[in-house]
Structure 1
Amino acid sequence: MSSPRGTVDVVEPPIADRVRRPADALRLGLVLVVLAASLALADVAVGTTGALEQDLALATSGLPRLLLQVVSWLSGIGVVVLPLAVGTDLVVRGRPSQLVHALAASGAAALVVVGLRALSFDGPLSSLLRTLTRPLAEGRTDPLDAVIVSMMALLTVADIIGRKWISPLAIVVIGSTVVTAFLSGTSTALALFTSVLLGWAVGLAFRFALGATSTRPPGSQIADALVAAGVPLVRLELVDSDDAGDRRYRGTTTSSTVDVQVMDRDTFGLASGRRLLRLLRLRKGTTRPALTLRAELEHRTLMGLALAQAGIPAPRPVAAREVGPFSAVIAYLDRAGAPLSELGAELDDAQLADIWRLHATLLRLSIAHRGLGPDVVMVTDDGRAGLLRVGGGDIAADELTLRIDTAQLLTTVGLAVGAARAVQSATAVLGADVVSRALPLLQPIALTPTTRAVLKQHKGLLGSLRDEIERGRPTEEVVAPVELRRVTLRGLVTVVGGGVAAYLLLTQLAKVDLGKVIANANLGWALATVIFATLTFAGASLALSGAVDLALRFGRTYMTQLAVAFSGLVAPAAIGNIALNTRYLQKAGAEPAVAGASVGVAQLAQFSSYFVLLIISGVLAGTGPRASFTPPAVLVAAVPIVILVVLALLAVPRVRRLITLRVVPRVRTVVPQVLSVLQHPRKLTQLLAGALLLDVSFVAALVCATRAFGATQPVAAIAVVYFAGAIIGSAVPTPGGLGGIEAAMSAGLIAIGVDGGTAVSSVLLYRLATYWLPIPFGWYSLNRLQKLQAI
C-alpha cells in the first residue's frame, strides 16, 4: 500500500542555490600534481621531450591535406561559435550568474597566461622557456596558448558535462585547436598539454571558490521517488544535511520509520575522497572508492541485503533508485537499539557474547563491515546485538580485512567494558587463535575516525588489549607484524630525498656521454673494480664468522651477504643487514640473544675499522710537503664545536634517559659476546681482518674506478671521498643511499681535482660494481638460502 504523491509532509529548510563540490577540490589537486610532475619531468628530460615532439610531428605530417584543412577550419570557427553556444545554453537554462562566473574565469585565465609569459621571458621562470618552447628563426614558440587556457576555464565553470550537443562540440573544438596549433608550429606538444591543464585548473579553482549551481533534488522529489518505489511515506524530515557527504532524512510510513540516505553529485566526492585517502595511506585492507553514484548505490544496497540474509539486526534496504540525473536515494528500515557508546559498562555477559556471535557470523560469511565503531555496534531493545549502519565494507572479503574488523571490534568493546572483559568475551566465542591474529592490527590507523577520537580519552587501551591477548595465546606462536600504512613519514622523506638526489645526479649525467664513457674506460681497471667489489662480501662474511662462536660455512655466509645487498634495494641497508644476518645465525644454531649480539659485534668491528681508516686517510690526505698534518681551518674549528654540542646534549635529562633506555641495553647485550670473542684469538683475528677487508675493498674499488678513466689523485684523498660519501649515503633514507651516494662522491671527487665528467663516470662504474651488479646474485642467493632453510 502506498501513499498518493503530493500528500507527503516534507520538513526541510530551503536548499542553497550554490554549493562547493568536494570533488572539484579533489580534481584541482590532482590536476596541479599532474601539471607540476609533467613540467618537472620535462625539465629533466628536455632532449627526450624534443625527440617525442619530432616523432609526433612526423606521425601527423602524413595526414591528408584536406583533413588538415578541415581541422583548421573547425578550430577557427569553433573558437567563435563555442562560447556563444555555451552562453546561450546557460541563459536558456536560467543561469545568468553561472555565465558571469564562466566569463570571469575565462578572463582570469587569459591574465594568468599573460603573467606567466612575462615571468617566463623576463622573470624568474625563464627556465620554463627551455621546457615549454623551442627556438624559431624569429624567436621562440609560445609557452602557453591563451585561447586554449581561457576556453578550458570557460567550459569548466559552465559545467557542460552531460549537455547532449555542447559537450561533443567542445571536445571537437578543443581537439582541433590543439592539433592546429601543434601542426602550425606555434606551440610545442608540452605547451599545449600544459595549456589544457592550466585552463582546467583555473576553472576548477573558480568553480570551487564561487560554488557551482546546485543539482540537489528537494525533499518533495525524494518523497515522490520513494512513494513510486512502494514506500508508504506520510512524512519526510531532514535529520542531517551533511552526514559524511550524504543527506539523511527520517521517513515516517503508515506503520514504521525508515532511514533515508540521499547521495548527490555535489557532495558525492566527499566520501569517495576519504576512501581514496585511506587507500593511499594503507597498503591493504581498504575498499576502492566508488567512481559513480550508481556504483555506490549498488554497493550499499548489496551490503544491506547481505546483512539481512545473514540474519543480523541491521538497517534493511526497502527502496533504492535514482532521483534525476545527479542524485540517488536509498531507504532502510530502522532497527531500534542503543549503541555501545551509550551502554558502556552496563553491557552484561550475555550481550557481550551475542556481539561476538554477530562478528563470528560475519567472519564465517567473509563479510567485512569496516566500520564497527562504538557508534555503530548496538544492542536492540530485545537484547540482541546488531548494527546501526550497513557500512561500506566488502562481500567475500580477504583475510586481512576481516582481521582488521576483529581488531576494530575488540577496541570498540574495550572502550565500553575494558580490555580484560573485551578479550575474555571475544576468546570465549571466537577462540584464542582468531583473537591473537588481530594482535598486530591493533593500530590507530586501522580504526575508524570515530574510534580514534574516543581513544584520545583512553590512551592506554590498545596497549592493555595487546597485553591481554599476549597472556592468552601460546608462547611459541609467532604473529607476524603487519604494516598497514602505505605512506609513512620515512617513506615521504625517502621519496622527496630520492627525488632531489636523483635530480642532482641527472644534472651530472647530462654532462656525460655514456658511449664515450664505455669506450674510454680502461678494461683492466674496470675488472679490478669488480674484483674488489666481490671482496667486500668476503670481508663481511669473515667479520660475521668471527663475531660468533660457531663454525659457519663460508659459502652460505657469503650468499647471506649477497642477500643483504639485494634486500638493500627495497629497505635501508642497516635493517636488511641486521634482520637477515640475525636470521642466518639463528638457523645456524645460535640462540636468538646470541645471534643478535653477534651481529652487533660485527657491526661494532666494522664501525671501528671505518673510524680508524677514516682517521688515517684524513691525516694522510691532509699531510703537506713537509710531512706535517695540516687539516683545513674549517675542520679544526668544527671538531671542538661538535664535541661541545655532544656534551651539551648529554647534559639534557631527556637525552640521557633516551641513551639509558635505548643504547645502554643494546651495549649490555653486546659486551658478553665481545668478551667471548676476545677469549678466542683466532675469532678475533677473523673479525678484525674481515672488517678491515670490507672497508679497504670499498676504497680500492673506488680507486680502481677513478684509475679506469685516467684520474691520478692520491689514494688517501679518494679514501676520504669514499668515507664521506658513505656517511651521506647512510643519512639519505633511500635504499642503498641511492642518489645521495652518487651525488656526494661525484662532488667529493670534483673537490679533490677530478674533472666533472670523469668524476661522474668513475662513481657510476663504482656503484655499478658495488651496488647494482650484486643485486641479481643477491636475489638468487636469497631464494637459494630459503630453499636450503638457511635463513
Structure 2
Amino acid sequence: MTAAATRPVAAPDVGASSEKIPHVRSPVDGIRSAIGVAFIVGGAVLANIFDSTLLGFAEDTAANVDRLPDWARDVSSAVLASVVISGTFAAAIWSLATTRYRRFALLLAGIGVAAATSIITGRGVYELVDESVQRAFAIDAPLFRVQGPDGRLSPADPLLAAAIATLTIGGSFLPARLVRRWALLVAAYAIGSILTIGAPPLALLTDLGAGLLAGSALLWTFGRHDLALRRSQILAALSTAGLDAAHLDDSPDRAKRGWLAITPSGDKLFVAAFSRDDRSADLLVRGYRWLRLRKTGDHRPFLTLRRSVEHEALVSQQARSRGIETPTTRAVAPAGVDGMILVRDWIEGSSCSELSELPDETIGAMWQQAARLQLARIAHGTLNLSSFVVNADGRPELVNFRRGELASSEQRLGTDLAELLTSTAAAAGIPTAVRAAKETIGPDRLQRAVPWLQPLALTSPTREAIGGAKPLAELRAATTEAVGLEPEELVRLERIDPKSLFILATIVLSAWFLIPQLTDLDSLWSQAKDASWAWAGAAVIASVGTYLAATGSLLGAIPTRLRYWPAFAAQIASSFANRVTPAKVGGLATNLRYFQRNGVPTGVGVTAIGLNAIAGLIMHIVLTVSFLLLASGQNGSKGLSLPSTGTIVLVLVAVVGTAAAAAAVPSTRRLIDTYIIPQLKSGWESMTVVIHDPVRLFLLFGGSAAITLFYIAAMVASLQAFGSTASLPLVALLFLTGSAVANAAPTPGGLGAAEAALIAALSTAESTTVVVPAVFLYRLVTFWLPILPGWLALTYLRRTDNL
C-alpha cells in the first residue's frame, strides 16, 4: 500500500483542531530566571568596578560618532528603536487579534515587568558608581529612554529589557527562525544604542537580566504551551516519511518521548519525538557540566535539533552494523514547530530497569553488547539498565543512542563500562556484576572502568540506584581487586566545587572592599613614615607572644609531657603551613605529625588538638562578652550601649527557634549525630581529665586566653602607632567580632577576608585614615613576618626528626 493510499486512514485518528495544548512549567524557564538574576547581580558588580573604564569607552565612542552627520546618527538610532518597539507590541497585538488572550496577557505583563525592573536596577547601578561617572548622564534623554529623579538620563534602557522579555516569552510559541531574526534586530538596537547614546553602558547587562528574568519568571509562574509534539504533528511527520500509521498511541515509554505507531500492514514502530524544549534542556545540562567538570567527555553540541537526531540515527545504525543488537532505524523526519521524530522498530518486551530480578544470562548478554561497543570504539553515553530492552526471545537490545559517539575517547569508553557495571551492581549485587564483567570483557578492558567509578562520572539514575558514595567505593574496591590493580587516586573531574566557589566569592568580595582602600597609596606611605616605631615594635612583641601562649595551651591539652621549645618551634612551623592551606588544615597536620614523632598516639593527638580548639572557642566567647560589658559601661561618644532586655530576649528566642527548626530537619539531625555529637563527647571526656590536673587546666585555658589577648594587644599597638584614640575595650570588642567573621573565610590565613572584616569593624570606632594602615600593620606583624621564621622552624623540625 502506498503512502498516498493510507493517508485517509490516519486523518480521522485525531485532528489538529481537537487537540488541546496543555500548559506546563518547564525547568528551562526556572534556570533562565536564575541566569537573569545572575546577569543583574553581575552587571551591577561589574558596573561598580569598571565604571571609569566604561566612561572612557563612552567618551571615545562619542568622539568617533560625532564625526558622522547628525541625520545619520539620529535617524539610524530612531529607526532601530522604532523597529524594536513595533515588533515588541506587534507580538502582543497579534496574540490579541488571534484570540490568544493568555499569550497577550503574558506578553503585556512581560513588557511592563521588564521595563519596571530595568528602571529599578538602572537606578541602583547609577547609585553605585562615582559622581564623576554620574555626571556623564547629564544629557538629554534620547527617544524611548527615561530620566532619573535628578533629571539626568537613566542608565537603564526599558525598551531593551521589554524587547528581551518579549523575545523570551515569544520564543515559547514562535518558530525558531523568526525568534533568531528578532534577536538579531534587538542586538542591533543594543549596539546602536551603545554607540550613539553618549553615556557609559552601565546597565547593559542588568537590562538583559531584567528582560530574561521577567519573561522566564512569568512563563515559570503561569506556564507555557507544551512544546512536546502532538499526535497530529507526529502523524503528519510519519506520513511525510512514507510511514503512514493506522493507529498511534502513547507507548509505555512515554516518559522518554516514545509513541507506539501501527502501520496498515500491522508493523509496530517506536516513534521518539523531540521538541525545541528538549534541545534547550540538553544545552543547559551541557553548559552546567562544562562549568562544573574539568573532563566531561561530551562532544560539542550540534547546531540544530535536526543534526542531533540525525547523529543518533547514524550512531545506532553504525552500532547495528558492528553486531550490536539494536532495532533498525526506519526514518528521521521534521515534525511540528522545530521538532523532530526518530522512528525505529518496536521491541516487544520490558526495559531491564523494570525487571524485578536480573538473570545472570541477561547480565552476560548486556556485557557482550558492551564488549562489541568497546571493540568498535562506539560510546553509548547512558549505558545502564534503562537503555536495554529485553525482547521476546529474552535477549537484551540496546536503544537510546542520543549521547552516542563514534571513534570515541578512552574516557567515554571507560565511563560506559563504569555506568553499566554500577547499574548491574545495583540490581544484582557487586560480586555478580564484577564477575560477569570480568568473564565477558576480560580484566584488561575492565580496567578502563576503574577511574570512572565515581559519582560525578555517572548519570543521576545510576547514582541513585547504587545508593551513594559508600556502595560505589565498595564496587570500586572490588573491581580494582578483580583486575589486579593497586588502589589509586580517582581522576579529578570537578572544575569548580562548592568550596572553591566559596573561596572565590570570599576573595572577590574582599578585593571589592579592599581595593578602594588602597587607591591612595601615597597617603598610606606618608602615614607609614609618620607611624610610631615604638608601638610597631610592641605589635611585633605581641605577635611573638601569641606563639608562646599557643605552645602553653597545646601542652596543657596533651597528657604526655613534651619539651617546651621544640613545641614552640612546632607552633611557628604550623603557622607557616597555615599560610599555604585553607581552613588551618596545614597547621593541624603539622601539630599532629609533631605529636606522632614524639611518641603521642594518633588518637590522643587528635583529641588534644580538638580540645585545644574547644578551649580557644570558649575563651573567645568569654572575652567577647567581657569586653562587651566593659565597652557598654563607658561614657562618651565612643562608648557602646547595650540593647534593651527585650531586644536581647527576642534575639535569644530567634536563635533558639532557628536551632530548633534546623534540628527538626532529618538531614540536619543526621549531620549533628554524625559529626557534632561525637566531637562534643570526645572533647567532654578529655575535658574531664584536664579538670583533675590544675596545671594542665591553667595551661589550656590560660594559654587560650593569652593567645587572644596577645592578638588584641597587637591590634591595639598597631592602632596606637597611627595615633588612635579609641578605647581599649571597644577596640578589643570590635577586633574579636571582626576576627570571628574572618575565621569563617576558607582562604589561607583568612587572606583578604581578615583585612576586610577588621577594617569594616574598627571603622565604626575610628577614622579609616587610621584604621586602614593600622590593620595592614597588624597583618604584617601577625601574618607576613612569621612566614620566614615558620619556614626555618619547619626545616629545623624535619632535620631533627621531629616532623
Which secondary structure state, in structure 1, belongs to the residue aligned with residue 197 of structure 2?
helix
Q: Does 1:727 align with 2:743?
A: no
- Contact 1:339–1:374 (Cα < 8 Å) also in 2: yes
Match of 1:130 in 2: 127
Q: Does 1:520 align with 2:536?
A: no
Q: Does 1:218 align with 2:233?
A: yes
* Matches of 2:237 and 2:215, distance apart in 1: 31
Deviates more, 1:352-361 or 1:431-440: 431-440
Residue 424 and residue 33 in structure 1: after superposition, are their counterparts in 2 closer, same or farther (change >3 A)?
Answer: same
Residue 673 and residue 222 in structure 1: after superposition, are their counterparts in 2 closer, same or farther (change >3 A)?
Answer: farther
Give 1:557 deviation, angstroms.
Answer: 8.6
Residue of 328, 345, 351 corresponding to 1:339? 351
Residue of 722, 736, 739 corresponding to 1:709? 722
Residue 119 and residue 356 in structure 1: after superposition, are their counterparts in 2 closer, same or farther (change >3 A)?
Answer: closer
Match of 2:151 in 1: 139
Give 1:507 deviation, angstroms.
Answer: 9.1
Give the AA of the match of 1:130.
Answer: E
Residue 769 and residue 612 in structure 1: after superposition, are their counterparts in 2 closer, same or farther (change >3 A)?
Answer: same
Deviates more, 1:68-77 or 1:478-487: 478-487
- Contact 2:477–2:487 (Cα < 8 Å) also in 1: no
Q: How does 1:388-537 map to 2 (within 5 A)?
A: 388-393=399-404, 405=416, 408-419=419-430, 421-426=432-437, 431=443, 441=453, 443=455, 448-450=459-461, 478=487, 480=489, 502=510, 506=513, 509=516, 513-522=520-529, 524=533
- Contact 2:547–2:571 (Cα < 8 Å) also in 1: no
Give the AA of the match of 2:356.
Answer: G
Question: CA offsets per residue over residues 104-144 of structure 1, 9 Å max, x none?
Answer: 67755664477569979xxxx96555259656388321353
Question: CA offsets per residue over residues 380-438 of structure 1, 9 Å max, x none?
Answer: 44454442433525556677766665554345334533455445545655659958976
Q: Does 1:32 align with 2:36?
A: yes
Q: How does 1:171-570 map to 2 (within 5 A)?
A: 171=186, 174-175=189-190, 178-179=193-194, 182-183=197-198, 188-191=200-203, 194-195=206-207, 197-199=209-211, 201-202=213-214, 211=224, 218-227=233-242, 237-239=248-250, 246=257, 248=259, 250=261, 252=263, 257-276=268-287, 285=296, 287=298, 290=301, 292-301=304-313, 303-305=315-317, 307-308=319-320, 311-317=323-329, 319-320=331-332, 326-334=338-346, 337-345=349-357, 347-359=358-370, 368-393=379-404, 405=416, 408-419=419-430, 421-426=432-437, 431=443, 441=453, 443=455, 448-450=459-461, 478=487, 480=489, 502=510, 506=513, 509=516, 513-522=520-529, 524=533, 561-568=575-582
Which secondary structure state, in structure 2, belongs to the residue aligned with residue 260 of structure 1?
strand
- Contact 1:35–1:197 (Cα < 8 Å) also in 2: yes
- Contact 1:508–1:760 (Cα < 8 Å) also in 2: no
Which secondary structure state, in structure 2, belongs to the residue aligned with residue 711 of structure 1?
coil
- Contact 1:614–1:720 (Cα < 8 Å) also in 2: no
Give 1:307 deviation, angstroms.
Answer: 3.6
Which secondary structure state, in structure 2, belongs to the residue aligned with residue 332 of structure 1?
strand
* Matches of 2:410 and 2:593, distance apart in 1: 27
* Matches of 1:200 and 1:70, distance apart in 2: 31
* Matches of 1:178 and 1:781, distance apart in 2: 62
Residue 50 and residue 69 in structure 1: after superposition, are their counterparts in 2 closer, same or farther (change >3 A)?
Answer: farther
- Contact 2:114–2:214 (Cα < 8 Å) also in 1: no
Which secondary structure state, in structure 2, belongs to the residue aligned with residue 259 of structure 1?
strand
Give the AA of the match of 1:562.
Answer: F
Give 1:37 deviation, angstroms.
Answer: 1.5
Give the AA of the match of 1:376.
Answer: S
Give 1:36 deviation, angstroms.
Answer: 1.9
Residue of 665, 669, 678 corresponding to 1:662? 678
Match of 2:145 in 1: none
- Contact 2:539–2:715 (Cα < 8 Å) also in 1: yes
* Matches of 1:589 and 1:310, distance apart in 2: 65
* Matches of 2:537 and 2:404, distance apart in 1: 58
Match of 2:98 in 1: 97
Q: How does 1:590-669 map to 2 (within 5 A)?
A: 594-595=601-602, 597-605=604-612, 608=615, 662-663=678-679, 666=682
Which secondary structure state, in structure 1, belongs to the residue aligned with residue 356 of structure 2?
helix
- Contact 1:370–1:405 (Cα < 8 Å) also in 2: yes
Give the AA of the match of 2:64.
Answer: G
| Aligned-residue RMSD, C-alpha | 6.4
Residue 32 and residue 478 in structure 1: after superposition, are their counterparts in 2 closer, same or farther (change >3 A)?
Answer: same
Which secondary structure state, in structure 1, belongs to the residue aligned with residue 65 of structure 2?
coil
- Contact 2:574–2:591 (Cα < 8 Å) also in 1: yes
Give 1:73 deviation, angstroms.
Answer: 0.9
* Matches of 1:38 and 1:764, distance apart in 2: 29
* Matches of 2:279 and 2:44, distance apart in 1: 32
* Matches of 1:423 and 1:469, distance apart in 2: 10
Which secondary structure state, in structure 2, belongs to the residue aligned with residue 312 of structure 1?
coil
Which secondary structure state, in structure 1, belongs to the residue aligned with residue 362 of structure 2?
helix
Give the AA of the match of 2:304.
Answer: T
Task: Give unmatched runs, 5+ long, in structure 2.
Answer: 140-149
Give the AA of the match of 2:740.
Answer: I
* Matches of 1:707 and 1:278, distance apart in 2: 53
* Matches of 1:117 and 1:169, distance apart in 2: 21
Give the AA of the match of 1:218.
Answer: Q
Question: CA offsets per residue over residues 9-56 of structure 1, 9 Å max, x none?
Answer: 5486445686879597267425522442245315754xx425522432
Question: CA offsets per residue over residues 266-292 of structure 1, 9 Å max, x none?
Answer: 543234445555666666557478363
Give the AA of the match of 2:524.
Answer: V
Give the AA of the match of 2:400.
Answer: R
Residue 131 and residue 259 in structure 1: after superposition, are their counterparts in 2 closer, same or farther (change >3 A)?
Answer: same
Residue 341 and residue 559 in structure 1: after superposition, are their counterparts in 2 closer, same or farther (change >3 A)?
Answer: same
Question: CA offsets per residue over residues 662-700 of structure 1, 9 Å max, x none?
Answer: 23775599799999xx9xx9x999999998996676445
Give 1:776 deviation, angstroms.
Answer: 12
* Matches of 2:627 and 2:87, distance apart in 1: 80
Task: Give unmatched runs, 5+ long, in structure 1.
Answer: none
Give the AA of the match of 2:341.
Answer: V
* Matches of 1:661 and 1:626, distance apart in 2: 38
* Matches of 1:240 and 1:466, distance apart in 2: 37
Question: CA offsets per residue over residues 735-764 of structure 1, 9 Å max, x none?
Answer: 65567644553354346x433443344334
Give 1:163 deviation, angstroms.
Answer: 4.7
- Contact 2:331–2:343 (Cα < 8 Å) also in 1: yes
**Percent sequence identity over aligned pairs:** 22
Residue 670 and residue 284 in structure 1: after superposition, are their counterparts in 2 closer, same or farther (change >3 A)?
Answer: farther
Match of 2:61 in 1: 59
Q: Does 1:759 align with 2:774?
A: no
Which secondary structure state, in structure 2, belongs to the residue aligned with residue 237 of structure 1?
strand
